[in-house]
Homo-oligomer: A and B are copies of this chain.
Amino acid sequence: MELTEAEFLRCYNVSLYERPSFTVDLVIFTVCDEQLRVLLVRRAEHPFKDQWALPGGFLDLQRDDSVENCAMRKLVEKTGMRAPYLEQLKTYGSRERDPRGWTATTVYFALMASNSISLAEDPEGVRWAPVQGEGVDKALAFDHAHILADAVVRLRSKLEYTHIAVHLLSEAFTLPELQQIYEIILQQPLDKSSFRRRVIQAGMLEEIAGKLRDGSGRPAQLYRFRDYGRKTFFPRSISRYAR
């Protein structure tokens, strides 16, 4: 359905010029090579030409039925994955964040397993950058360093009370692998027996047949994530004071 500008204005009773530029950006995390990494693309256009930025872009109002659909479409375009974990992070909108003026962007964060991704910087200017170190945070376009920092905070926080980390591994994984994901993201070693107790008692993993042989040492039991609809767990939450 095409409208003239006049029709548009009558419909909405607000000038088109009152609308900020609106985009969708993605923070796509993976854990690879023992580091938390994020997908960056090199900007081809001004502003911030040739600097690294989070992938994203404008909505396609014809194709995208919703902001979430748009984010999912862009995620598939960039990574070619099928059923990734995708969650809305936050919307950033201000006059200052883009030198061209008022813009808003809704940012999603995604998690993907590191198998089947390529680490090498490819000619199109796409790169899996380690989140810590290498001054990644200082080199990013727009307010993307700030956005990335927020995403890392959210990711760390959600490790505490959800099972989202399983989306950073392939469908079948072992508990030592899962613990390593936690240790890499939280940047500290965890106690093995406490970690196992908690993850198992939360009851969202199930054993599957087969063991993972890793070259040396005892093979580890394989598990699969079982989504019972329960998204979070608070081991000792206030609502358990119920009498």
**Distance, CA A14 to CA B56, complexed state (A):** 14
A243 touches B190 (CB 8 A): yes
Q: Give the Cβ gap from A53 to chain B, nearest Cβ, in Å.
A: 15
A91 touches B94 (CB 8 A): no
Interface residues of A in 1-59 (CB under 8 A from B): 1-3, 5, 8, 11-14, 16-22, 45, 58-59
> In the complex, what's the smallest C-beta–C-beta distance from A94 to chain B, in angstroms?
4
Interface 9-mer from A118-126, A208-216, A231-239: A231-239
Report yes or no: B241 in contact with A67, Cβ–Cβ below 8 A.
no
Question: CB < 8 Å: which of B66, B157, B194 contacts A94?
Answer: B66
Q: How far is the CB of A241 from chain B (nearest CB, A)?
A: 4
List residues of chain B with CB within 8 A of the CB of A73: none
Residues of B within 8 A of A243 (CB): 189-191
The answer to whether the Cβ of A104 comes within 8 Å of any Cβ in the partner chain is yes
A198 at interface, CB cutoff 8 A: yes
The contact of A241 among B101, B102, B194, B234, by CB within 8 Å, is B194
- A86 contacts the other chain (CB 8 A): no
Q: CA A17 – CA B102 in complex, angstroms?
A: 17
> In the complex, what's the smallest C-beta–C-beta distance from A32 to chain B, in angstroms?
22
Whether A220 sits at the interface, judged by CB under 8 Å, is: no
Q: For residue A94, which residue of chain B has the nearest CB? A: B66
